[in-house]
Amino acid sequence: MSDQLTLSAELRERAGKGASRALRRAGRTPAVIYGDNKPPVTIHVEEKALVKLLMTGAFTNSTVALTLDGKTEITLPKDVAFHPVSDRPVHVDFFRLAKDATVHVEVPVRFINEAASPGLKRGGVLNIVRHDLELICDATKIPDHIDIDVTGYDVGEAIHISAVTLPSGSKSAITDRDFTIATIVAPSGMKSQEGDTTKDADA
C-alpha cells in the first residue's frame, strides 16, 4: 500500500497574488484544503518538503497528513500547479478526507511471471493497453501498484480486468465493460512465417 505522507502547514494570513509571490520568495508554496463539507482553508507549506514528496512519484496516489496548528488533516492531493518555466510548484490543492472515505485514483500496473507465459517464451510481445487502472479505493489502502500475472497467456490472447485480483478495499472504477489491459501479440517474424505457411497451403 502507498505510504501516508506527512507535511507541515501554516495558515495564510493574506490572500492575493502579491501575498502568494511573497510566500514563494520565502521558500513557501501556497495551498488550500477543501472538501468534507467544510469551509476551505488557505495554507502554505515549505517548498523543499513539498518537492521531496513530489519526487517520490506517488504524491497524487497517497494520502498526505497535513499538520496545521497542532491538528492533523488527512488529505489527498488533487492538483499541483507548476511554474511554466522553472517547474517550481506554485500552488497545491488538498482534498480533505472524511472518515472511511473512498477515493478515485489511477494506480500503475506491473506485469509478473513473464517467463511463465507461453506466448512470450515463443517470442511474442506484451502489448500494454493500459499502464494504469482507475480504481475506487479505501483512502487508507491505496495500492502502490497492481500486479498482473501473465502465467499461461499465449500469442493472440488478452488479459482483461475480470482476470485481475484486486487488493482488499479496491474495485475497478470502470464497471460497464470487461476492458483489456494487455495482449500478447506475435512478432513480425512469426507473422511472416505464418503468412508463408498459409500461401504454401493454398498453392
Does the CA dihedral 161-109-36-3 come out positive or negative?
Answer: positive
Q: What is the pLDDT of residues 54-67, one digit of tens each?
A: 988 778 778 899 99
User: What HEC string does the chain produce?
Assistant: CCCCEEEEEEECCCCCHHHHHHHHHCCEEEEEEEECCEEEEEEEEEHHHHHHHHCCCCHHHCCEEEEECCEEEEEEEEEEEECCCCCCEEEEEEEECCCCCEEEEEEEEEEECHHHCHHHHCCCEEEECCCEEEEEEECCCCCCCEEEECCCCCCCCEEEHHHCCCCCCEEECCCCCCCEEEEEECCHHHHHHHHHHHHHHHC
pLDDT above 70 for 195: no
Distance CA 143, CA 74 (A): 17
Q: What is the pLDDT of residues 110-143, one digit of tens each?
A: 999 999 999 999 999 999 999 999 999 888 788 8
Mean pLDDT of the chain: 87
Q: How confident is the model at residue 2 (pLDDT cuts 50, 70, 90)?
A: low
pTM over 0.75: no
Q: How confident is the model at residue 201 (pLDDT cuts 50, 70, 90)?
A: very low
What the chain holds in terms of domains, given with CATH numbers, is 5-98 (2.40.240.10), 103-202 (2.170.120.20)
